[in-house]
Structure 1
Amino acid sequence: MARLSPPRQLIEEDNRQAFDCGRDSMNEWFRRHAWRNQQLGVSRSTVICDAQTGEIAGYVTLAMGHIEREYLPKASQRNRPENIPIFLLGQLAVDRRFQKTGVARSLLFYALKTSVRVAKEVGCVGVLTHPLDDEVRAFYRRFGFEDLPYDRRRSMMVRIKDLERNGFGED
């Protein structure tokens, strides 16, 4: 198996056209929008690459956002502002050639550790994502993400304090 690079930010020279995770919508978003969003400061995409060829093995995208209090479980709504600050894990995809090798797990861990680190400086309650299907939901559930019961988009979230409790705040 290929030796993989540590996670790093996407750069303009990265070959996004060769990336194929098996989902056309994710491939197209990465090819057409990842770099532009990064230039605009809308989101940051982090990649893991084959250390020898430079081919992108996978990517994860993080951005800041908020969720309305009403989408949280009832017990979490009390004494909270109307808009709850969150990190948005917008995209996470692995090229077909690198699937089932731990790349998705590595990218997710990078995103969660980054979120916990930044949350120590900037207030944030959790990391939110919008899984595409039940298989993806099951993946996130294994890492502590829970369904938001009142969100019609079927979002999932993991709380920063739960990540800290599980060691994501440690280096």
Structure 2
Amino acid sequence: MYVAAALSPRHRIDSFDCGKEELNTWLSKHALHAQSSSTARTFVWTEADQTDVLAYYSLAGHVVEREVLPKKIGRGSPDQIPAVILARLALDERLHGRGLGGVLLVDALARAVEASMNVAARLMVVDAIDESAATFYEKYGFTRIPGTMRLIQKMSSIKASIEDSPSSSETS
């Protein structure tokens, strides 16, 4: 069983390796600083009663300009649309191939939906690190903004998907 918690200095991040140096470096050199300066919140997975980080994601507040969105998503929105950005999402290589990437994503999306109940956000945004990541997000209902690696999904769609699926509060 994996436990999700906010990143803290007690977590061991030195052995984390997702296979993407940019994501490893961000966790080891920037995540705690971003957390302390309130520019991003990072949540980690560990095994129960352990501190070694096995997966993480970071969330932050964001704004999207309506003019860059496909019309069906931007319609009816103000010029600047409140959003949550999934700034990072990574799974240690030890967990690859187990279908846990989707579980980690649902954990992040559920947390964003919960936050949007208190601080309005109409969209969820992700900037895919590469084509493989973009394809992964598309499988979970995200729509790519043409000509970019940015993908978006309405928070209302995410909320409906989460409500229709089995509970994602526990991971294994």
TM-score scaled to structure 2, two decimals? 0.88
**More deviation, 49-58/93-102:** 49-58
Q: CA deviation at 1:101?
A: 2.3
Aligned position for 2:13: 16
Structure 1: which 5+ runs fail to align? none
SS at 1:108's partner residue?
helix
Aligned position for 1:144: 141
Distance between the aligned counterparts of 2:24 and 2:162, measured in 1? 32
Q: Alignment identity in percent?
A: 27
Structure 2: which 5+ runs fail to align? 168-172
Give a deviation string over 1:87-108, Cα, whole Å, max 9, x none.
0001001111111223322221
Aligned position for 1:71: 68
Q: 2:153 aligns with which of 134, 147, 158?
A: 158
Amino acid at match of 2:99: G
Distance 1:74 1:94, change over 3 A: same
RMSD over equivalenced CA pairs, Å: 1.9
SS at 2:56's partner residue?
strand
Amino acid at match of 2:138: R
Q: 1:97 aligns with which of 91, 94, 98?
A: 94
Aligned position for 2:117: 120
Q: CA deviation at 1:77?
A: 3.2
Aligned position for 1:39: 36
Give a deviation string over 1:5-37, Cα, whole Å, max 9, x none.
221111112111211111111111110000110
SS at 1:6's partner residue?
strand
Q: Does the Cα contact within 8 Å between 2:130 and 2:149 map onto a contact in 1?
A: no
